[in-house]
Chain A
Amino acid sequence: MSARAPIRVLVADDNEDHRFLIVRALRDADGLSLEVDSVQDGEEVLDLLYGRGQFAGREKPNLVLLDLKMPRMGGLEVLERVKNDPNLREIPIVVLSSSDRPEDVNETYQLGGNSYVTKPSTLAGMRAGIAELSNYWARVAVLPDTEDAG
């Protein structure tokens, strides 16, 4: 497999601490050239994907790590809008939530979510989980070309 362009990962979490831990775990992941961006609610996710407001001109991410419970706009609504937009629906969205409610899991997949992962409660678990996650999406999975789609 040839060298690839750096993977752009968008982390959406309203909890600043969690955002910090996830972003750091992604950056610490060995051997991956990831460009990590983060936003704090669903509105910002959509703004970024559509290149609106402060995010005008930003490149679209190759992967979104989406929290479910966020102010202004929750993760499930973001999921629904993105997966209903032909221009955005190829972008893989991985829900990363502290909820393990079956309802949340089911709805995520019904709305077209690509994966559902519960937030590990320990740092070690978080680091390992994120490493695995980013490794899969950056190395194993073949991602669509978001630039072409946009």
Chain B
Amino acid sequence: MQPFADAIQYLNDALFIALAVVALRQWRARRDEASSWVAATFGILAAVVMFALFLPETGDALWLVWTRKVLIAFLLLFPYTLYRFAGSFQRPGRAMALFATAATGAIIVASFVLPAFPEPGGPRPLWLAVYVYLILVQWSVLSTYVSVQLWRAGAGQPTLARRRMRILAAAAAALDVALLLQAIFPTNGEATPLLIVVRLLSTMSVVLFFGAFAPPALIRVAWRRPEEQALQQAQLGLMAATRVEDVVSTLLPHGVRVVGATSGALIDTHGHVIGSHGVSADWAAAHAPDPHAMRLPLRQGQLVLWTGPHSPYFGREELDLLTRFGVVIDLAWERCDLLEHQRQTTARLEQAQQIAHLGAWEWDMLTGEVVWSDEMFRMLEMTPGDEIPSLDDYLERVHPEDRTRLLASMDASRQFGRPFDMDYRFRLADGSIRTIHGQGHVIAGADKAPRHMIGTAHDITERKMTEEVLSAAYEGERSARLAFERANAELESFVYSVSHDLKSPIISVLGYLDYLKLDFGKDFPPEAMHYIERIASSANYMEALIQDLLELSRVGRVQTERSDVDLNALAHEATEEATAGHPDASVTIEPLPVLSINPLRARQLFTNLIGNALVHSGKPDVHVRISAEISRDGGATVLVEDDGRGIPEAYLDRVFGVFERLDSSGDSAMGTGIGLAICRKVMDALGGSISADPVESGTRIRMRFPAEAVRAATSPAGATQP
């Protein structure tokens, strides 16, 4: 019995020392508050064990007594340091802190103040009972506190961390029980069963401490399996993720669980929260910079995890695991971005196709497999995802007149790889007909033979309809123009016939009037002769009117031959003729061009314009000036100006109409009101124009002759005619 008990004791001692070494090494590696308290705890324990080994069991030398007291004081620090270790994660309450410090301080002081402890087995004085009781209270309260704290904190931690913490709690409890038993039932070193139980409890406690602080790799791997499996699952999930949101929902719950965090969030480089688990996105954004938050830097942002206070100590390996996992997250994230980019590109392409009514298709000519873009379906009034009609079904709906052509075109593509480009009509399900512009080109397979064909189909029904409407409009415009020209020709012919028929009675009237005067004039009283003169004057006016109307109709009706006409000579002749009845009028003719024009029409122009100037000026000594200039485009402008009463601005254009006269006299000497209309018609027929300029005084008629009518800019200078 005794050797067994001793063996256990030695084993315990060795284990305590080994534990101290492990703790010290961990402290050196971590240098944080928790590991320093662990090192202190087991360092004390090991020191006490070692000193106890070399101290004699009995003896009451003074140095021995004091050494024992110091060792006891040291031993009494053990529960305190363990308590401080637990407290380094979560600060204890003030009452607990006060008790721990006060009780520990009190018993240490007491250890030194009290007299020497009596020999084991001897009588136990009261002070000793009180002292031992105090120790029990201090020891059990602190140890229980540690056990409960660690046990509770283990909840919600990853398996490895949870087990380590719970084992630590169990170890503290076992040591507690062992010490309690030894204190309640003191032994004198004899190998009683109780002593063996106590020592075995100690052994168990030390082993448990080992397991908690430095679990062997094999155990760690076994314990970590659930987390590793979860991460593997997450990794698989990440590979299937197509959106960053998927990455968040796949990864975060596992990531949070693996490190025993309370919550987590994925945050991009701009601080924007992509997704969160356990907390709201707003909370995550606000608490991302928390110093206690655990951050895993990623290529495009960071993974932030809010962990419990124990995670960094007990979950260190899981954090490492997660760090390695970061590479996978980066890859998944990048892939999601690429997919998103592709999705957007595809969406844009789809949208563009939709706007353009442009469908895309792909045809595997070997397998017959066909792929359509969404717009292809929509264009044919189908729903994207519907079954694509077979080639026969498709052809069946192509207009019979276009079918053969389409088939021939497709055959040419299939056999010779020719590009395909044609319009054909297609019948929709509702029976309406759409016009489709199909284009395609052939992609050769590995054997260089046509293999694939890709192409587009464009709904050009509207364009076709517009073209048809436009061409109908052009046709309508053309026929309207022809009808107008015909009507115009008919009108001119009508005007000619009417004026011609009107001529006959005028000839009769004038003829009889003349014979009346000739045969009976001498018998008539002067008043009768006056009446006859009035009749003759009216008839003459009417005759002139008819003559002008005939002339006007002739300008449009009759093709005239052109020859070179020297306007200088023409203007002089016309002036001579016109000024015959106006002796006081004067006409200045400046150098005028030579035109290619019908001489009769040219004379009509000048006779009318000079005549108008003389007749309508309102003064006998009117001065008329005829001048010309060649414009930059080679055309000629001829001006006929006078200093007469002018044309009111409102009438500047109207004077060129038929029968537009400013005075209402029926006197033939004042003109018929057709002269300027004839001039305009002559100029129109020439491709030129005639207009009246708005001038301050007098009248200025402007004639523009096109460049092709101008033969020479000037001819020998003109002269002034009286």
Taking Cβ atoms with an 8 Å cutoff, the residues of A that contact B are 15, 17-18, 20-21, 24, 98-102, 119-124, 126
Residues of A within 8 A of B550 (CB): 100
Tell me which of B500, B512, B514, B543 contacts A17 (CB under 8 A): B512
19 contacts between A and B (CB under 8 A): A15-B504, A15-B508, A17-B504, A17-B507, A17-B508, A18-B504, A18-B508, A21-B507, A21-B511, A21-B515, A99-B500, A100-B550, A119-B507, A120-B507, A121-B507, A121-B547, A122-B510, A122-B514, A126-B507
A123 and B500: CB pair below 8 A? no
| A10 and B503 alpha carbons, distance in the complex (Å) | 23
| A58 and B513 alpha carbons, distance in the complex (Å) | 34
| A106 and B505 alpha carbons, distance in the complex (Å) | 25
B558 and A21: CB pair below 8 A? no
Interface status of B72 (Cβ within 8 A of chain A): no
| A119 and B547 alpha carbons, distance in the complex (Å) | 13
Residues of B within 8 A of A101 (CB): 496
| Contact A21:B508 (CB < 8 A) given known A123-B515, A124-B514 | yes
- By beta carbon, the residue of chain B nearest A124 is B514
| Contact A123:B543 (CB < 8 A) given known A15-B508, A17-B508 | no
Among B474-507, those with CB < 8 Å from A are: 496, 500, 503-507
| Contact A121:B506 (CB < 8 A) given known A21-B511, A24-B515 | yes
A18 and B514: CB pair below 8 A? no
Which one of A101, A120, A121 has the highest number of Cβ atoms from chain B below 10 Å of its Cβ?
A: A121
- How many residues in B have their beta carbons less than 8 Å from beta carbons of A? 18
| A54 and B496 alpha carbons, distance in the complex (Å) | 37
- By beta carbon, the residue of chain B nearest A123 is B514
A98 and B503: CB pair below 8 A? yes
| A99 and B506 alpha carbons, distance in the complex (Å) | 14
| A18 and B507 alpha carbons, distance in the complex (Å) | 8
- By beta carbon, the residue of chain B nearest A126 is B511
Residues of B within 8 A of A126 (CB): 507, 511
- By beta carbon, the residue of chain B nearest A25 is B511
Residues of A within 8 A of B558 (CB): 102
- By beta carbon, the residue of chain B nearest A21 is B511
Residues of A within 8 A of B496 (CB): 101
| Contact A123:B510 (CB < 8 A) given known A24-B515, A102-B558 | yes
CB distance from B497 to the nearest CB of A (A): 10
Residues of A within 8 A of B506 (CB): 121
Other contacts beyond A17-B505, A119-B503, A119-B507: 9, CB < 8 A: A18-B507, A18-B508, A21-B507, A21-B515, A98-B503, A99-B500, A100-B550, A122-B510, A122-B543
Tell me which of B503, B513, B515 contacts A121 (CB under 8 A): B503
| A101 and B503 alpha carbons, distance in the complex (Å) | 14
Residues of A within 8 A of B507 (CB): 17-18, 21, 98, 119-121, 126
Closest 10 CB pairs of A and B: A123-B514, A17-B508, A21-B511, A123-B511, A98-B503, A121-B543, A121-B507, A15-B504, A122-B510, A123-B510
Residues of B within 8 A of A21 (CB): 507-508, 511-512, 515
| A59 and B507 alpha carbons, distance in the complex (Å) | 31
B512 and A121: CB pair below 8 A? no
CB distance from A84 to the nearest CB of B (A): 28
B504 and A123: CB pair below 8 A? no
| A100 and B508 alpha carbons, distance in the complex (Å) | 18
A121 and B500: CB pair below 8 A? no
Residues of A within 8 A of B510 (CB): 121-123
| A121 and B546 alpha carbons, distance in the complex (Å) | 11
Which one of B505, B507, B508 has the highest number of Cβ atoms from chain A below 10 Å of its Cβ?
A: B507
- By beta carbon, the residue of chain A nearest B502 is A98
